[in-house]
Amino acid sequence: MGAWLSDGVRWTSFNARTRVVVWEAGEEDPDSFVDTGRLLLALAASRGSIASAVLAAEGIDLMAFAHLLAHSGERGPRGSMSASVVRAVRNASVYADTFGDAAASTGHLLLGILDELDGVAMLVLDVLGVRRRGLVTCTRAHLDAARAAGVLDEAGLEEELVSSGSETLPVPPSRVRTAFARRSAADPAISMAVAPDGVVEVARTHEGAGEFALCFRLEDAVDTTIEWMVSLRVTVYSSRHRENLVADAESKLAERSRQVGELLKRLVVPEGPRPDAAEVRP
């Protein structure tokens, strides 16, 4: 959720997709004022959502809507939102409670927008000749269908985000291989394979989250360079949402690399310096 949201809106009971839609309405142009018209366009752009299906079924000319909106939008402080948006967002939760739904979907939010008769969205829809009653009826029908099908959560597509890097350990490859062989023998979630050319691949799968994979080569060396890869399966609700997820993952790459390095050293490199033979001689 964007910083422009008030606390009352921030904690509104939304499903994940609806939260992303509201957040994106403000992120589209952080310096602008968010009104119900901008929020309705964000709903329309959320492909696969209940609200976008309703707006498509009603045949609303979104290009004309956006054109009229650009010439009739409300004015207010940058990075804030209109009172109509605040009420629409809150009323979406009221609708969900009234219908006995666990969380407000994009359909509930569309109903909240349509209740704001003086909001920019309804004013523009009136100019386009869209009848509010028909739009409300269509929205309720789509909500009923989604409820019956058990898809009110409006789940998005699952994608895989990958981070990778390398780490050099101050031990020979044979010791690294021994350490991982011991771990894979003790932990069924870890697998290890050695290719004919001496490349060792180690992987640990975290069910439902992603995979942590390593790769190094068995050859005579003082140090071992390990190539590592961490994959994370995430739910994506829009192209903008995906862009932000990727940017967030990239911003944390340096910290993740440090954590991977510490993990490998704890696993392979013994604590403290190895004693010299003269020091342990009786």
In the sheet that 199-206 helps form, which strands lie side by side, from edge to edge? 157-169, 224-236, 210-217, 199-206, 190-194
Q: Judge whether 112 and 135 are in contact, CB under 8 Å.
A: no
Question: Residues with Cβ < 8 Å from 129, sequence gap 6 or more?
Answer: none
SS3 272: coil
Spatial neighbors of 153 by CB under 8 A, at least 6 apart, are: 15, 16, 17, 103, 105
| Mean pLDDT (whole number) for 126-135 | 95
What average pLDDT does range 90-102 have in this prediction? 95
Total length of the chain: 282
Position 91: which residue type? N
Q: What is the pLDDT of residue 25?
A: 85
Q: Give the torsion through C-alpha atoms of 122, 113, 86, 16, to 10 deg.
A: -150
73 pLDDT tier (thresholds 50, 70, 90): low
Asked whether the predicted pLDDT for residue 282 surpasses 60, the reply is no
> Cα–Cα–Cα angle for 182, 198, 161, nearest 5°?
75
- Cβ distance 59 to 95 under 8 Å? no
Cβ atoms of 88 and 113 closer than 8 Å = yes
Q: Would you state the pLDDT for residue 30? A: 55
Statement: residue 67 has pLDDT above 70:
yes
pLDDT, average across residues 26-48: 83
Mean pLDDT of the region 232-261: 89
Do the Cβ atoms of 216 and 176 come closer than 8 Å?
yes
Look over the chain and give the mean of its residue pLDDT values, rounded to a whole number. Answer: 86
What's the whole-number mean pLDDT along residues 226-251? Answer: 90
- Weakest mean pLDDT among 124-128, 225-229, 269-273: 269-273
Whether 87 has a pLDDT exceeding 90, the answer reads: yes
Residue type (1 letter), 217: R
The number of angstroms, rounded, from the C-alpha of 38 to the middle of its chain's C-alpha atoms is: 22
Q: 204: buried, middle or exposed (CB in 10 Å: 19+, 13-18, 0-12)?
A: middle
pLDDT in the model for residue 274: 44
pLDDT greater than 50 at residue 91:
yes
pLDDT band at 218 (very low <50, low <70, confident <90, very high): very high
The single residue listed with the structure tokens 């290890």 is 192
